[in-house]
Structure 1
Amino acid sequence: MNIVYLVFGNNMNHYQQVYFSIYTAFACKNIEDRIIVITEDPSLFSSLEDNIEIILINRDIIKEWEGKYHFFWRVKIKALQLIAQKYPMDSILYLDGDTFFYQNMDILRNDLINGKNHMHIEEGKLSTLSSKTEKMMWQQMKGKVYHNIKIDENSAMWNAGLIGISSKHFDCLELTLGINDAMCAHGVTRRLIEQLAFSMGLNEYSALQPADHIVGHYWGNKKQWNKIIDHFLKECFMKNYSFDHIIECVKEMDLTQNPIRVKESNTQRKLRNYIDIFFKNKKPVYVSK
């Protein structure tokens, strides 16, 4: 099985999240499992290069993968197609950086071998979801057909923080890409297009199964998790821990004690964004003593 991460850009938090997720993967995987990082800056993974496979991409590749509609998250679909072409006999387990393993992954691996596709968790039927984006998507898409897939009351949205694709069903990636591009062509609200495309494309080949009992996804509480990860990686660096010692430390951690999601009101979020923008644009003032 190929455990795959995709990270690019210059936000160091994203790279630290991937580092930590990789360490938790090593704590839970089998020796046969391969960890692959697709990135435009391999130098940031130099400390792991003896233990993982690193695939270099550049800005030209990223731009090409975004396609004619310049859709950012189309890159994820193309990256998984790249891995499927390189390793056609090995199932794929893709993870966003803001994830961690907290259970042995044998059940998940066996499911993929047996043809069962996975995503992290079912968020609900698109027709009943309550966020502004989801409501808008439903109004735009209900009853319409995208690459031969009809959106109806039973069309479910799954979380794409984890995507498990059996090697028996790699054709679902081409279907996912077609659905994604058809939605872009139709002008569907973009924020969750790729996630819904994966939900539809994978489920068409195998009834999707959840994986939240094995992998945590802290998309709703990155602020606290970034602090935890930053502290952990600094300690590992300052104390010059060996790779094996880092993995042993991860095995001793109870990651389920930290909340996955913290509810933030719209007022709190708007105020935080305003403050961030305000101080970003302010020039420093130096006061002499």
Structure 2
Amino acid sequence: MVNGVIICYVAYGARVDIYQQIYFSILSLLTFGHHSYNIRVVTDRPEYFKRLAKYISVTVLTESEITSWPGLHDYHFRIKLKALEKVVDSDPNSDVIFFDSDTFHYSAPDTIISQVKNGCAVFHCNEGPISRNRYDPFWLQLKNKTFSGITISKQTCMFNSGVIGLPASHASDVLRKAIIVCDQMCDELKEKGVVEQLAISVTAAIELECHFADKQVLHYWGNKEQWNRIIESYMKDAFLKDYSISDEISALANFNSIEIPIYTRKQMNNQRLKSWADRMFPRVKEKYFLPPR
């Protein structure tokens, strides 16, 4: 097991697809060594991870934490930053690497681990300056403003937080400050969107050298529908064949992840025509069972 590195996932709420995604992501990680990694899942549904009990540890979120962590602005994604802070506070001498639920490990995370151990931050990718699109609501509402000593300028970049790696030497300070920055930005924004992502990006960029993991980790945020269908099919097959975890990991040897898009975009004209056709010619005629009276 890699000493002093926690690989972390966060899941809460009632959406089963998120738990399935994390389960699948963990399996993809385990293909690189069943007991090589200190994997921790922070969740309010520990029962969903019982099958993985030999390979992971679980930190249980309380109802009070889930209720209070969105903060004064009731901002849902603030919970992610608070959950990571909880992990870091519980083990301040360990580096932490967070993976979003909708990720798949194409290769072993050794490069990411090495970068974090060398004192760098790691994100999934650099999405570029928020000023690049002058109509971006974040840029329009936050430009030239200062949050906890960090000024949003034309050079301010958004890092994708599908991966967040932080060295132990800075993890607590970066997360604490990112939460403050997030709250201050929420004061200025009508629509919060993924402002927690911007907050952790700008905070880490001030404190640390930043690297990116988009060549090691697939982050399919732009094609979850197709990936969810594939994951459900995989899990049904494993259930019906009564696979062990080892069997499930072995089955992934035949899974060609790079053939599945991580992002798809539907053309608007295509959607409009389909919407019109569905109204004019309904595709589904429904009939229901009628029990005897």
TM-score of the two chains, using structure 2 as the length reference: 0.88
For 1:227-277, what per-residue CA distance to the aligned partner results, in whole angstroms no more than 9, with x for missing partners? 1111111111111111112112223422111111111235667899999xx
Offset of 1:186 from its aligned partner? Answer: 2.3
Which runs of 5 or more structure 1 residues have no equivalent in the other structure? 276-283
Supply the distance in 1 between the matched residues of 2:274 and 2:12 (Cα, whole angstroms).
Answer: 25
Instruction: Note the 1:143-182 alignment, pairs <5 A.
Output: 143-170=144-171, 171-182=173-184
- Which whole-Å deviations, capped at 9, do the CAs of 1:123-174 have from their partners, x for residues lacking one? 11010037x6xx1110111100011100001100111111111112111111
Label 1:274 to 1:215 Cα distance change in 2 as closer, same or farther (>3 A). farther
> Superposed, which structure 2 residues align to 1:115-194 within 5 Å?
115-129=119-133, 135-170=136-171, 171-187=173-189, 189-194=191-196
- The alpha-carbon distance between structure 1 residues 153 and 195, as it changes in their structure 2 partners (threshold 3 A), is same
Q: What residue number does 2:26 align with?
A: 22
Matched-pair identity in %: 30
Asked if residue 59 in structure 1 is aligned to residue 63 in structure 2, the reply is yes
Provide the rounded CA distance (Å) in 1 between the counterparts of 2:67 and 2:273. 34
Write the distance in 1 (CA, Å) between the matches of 2:39 and 2:268: 38
Counterpart of 1:57, as a letter, is L
Q: Is the 8 A contact 1:116 1:208 kept in 2?
A: yes
Task: Quickly say closer, same or farther: Cα 1:251–1:169, change in 2 above 3 A.
Answer: farther
The 1:87/1:238 distance shift into structure 2, 3 A limit, reads same
SS in structure 2 of the partner of residue 69 of structure 1:
coil
Aligned position for 1:198 = 200
Alignment of 1:203-222 (within 5 A): 203-222=205-224
User: How much is the aligned-residue C-alpha RMSD, in angstroms?
Assistant: 2.4
Query: Matches of 1:94 and 1:274 in 2, distance apart?
Result: 43
Q: State the SS of the aligned residue for 2:165.
A: strand
Larger Rg: 2
Partners of 2:115 and 2:211 within 8 A in 1: no
SS at 1:6's partner residue?
A: strand
**Is 30-39 or 119-128 further displaced after alignment?**
30-39
Letter of the 1:88 counterpart:
P
In the other structure, the counterpart of 2:47 is: 43
TM-score scaled by length of structure 1: 0.89
Shift of 1:30: 7.6
| Counterpart residue identity of residue 163, structure 1 | I
Deviation at 1:20, TM superposition (A): 0.3
SS class of match (1:164)? strand
What are structure 2's unaligned runs of at least 5 residues? 278-285
Q: CA deviation at 1:35?
A: 0.8
Matches within 5 A, 1:266-285: 266=268
Structure 2 residue aligned with 1:235: 237
Secondary structure of 2:31's aligned partner:
helix
Match of 1:88 in 2: 92
Residue of structure 1 aligned with 2:257, choices 245, 255, 258: 255
Residues 149 and 274 (structure 1 numbering): CA distance in 2 closer, same or farther, change over 3 Å?
Answer: farther
Partner of 1:120, secondary structure, is strand
* Residues 70-89 of structure 1 aligned to structure 2 (within 5 Å): 70-89=74-93
- Mapped to 1, the partners of 2:9 and 2:29 lie a distance apart of 11
Find 1:12's aligned residue among 2, 7, 16: 16
- The answer to whether the 8 Å contact 1:157/1:199 transfers is yes
Q: Report the Cα distance in structure 2 between the residues aligned to 1:252 and 1:44, rounded to whole angstroms.
A: 25
Deviation at residue 285 of structure 1 after TM alignment: 5.2
Provide the residue aligned with 1:281 in structure 2. none
Does the Cα contact within 8 Å between 1:36 and 1:55 map onto a contact in 2?
Answer: yes
Partners of 1:271 and 1:40 in 2: CA distance: 42
What does residue 113 of structure 2 align with? 109
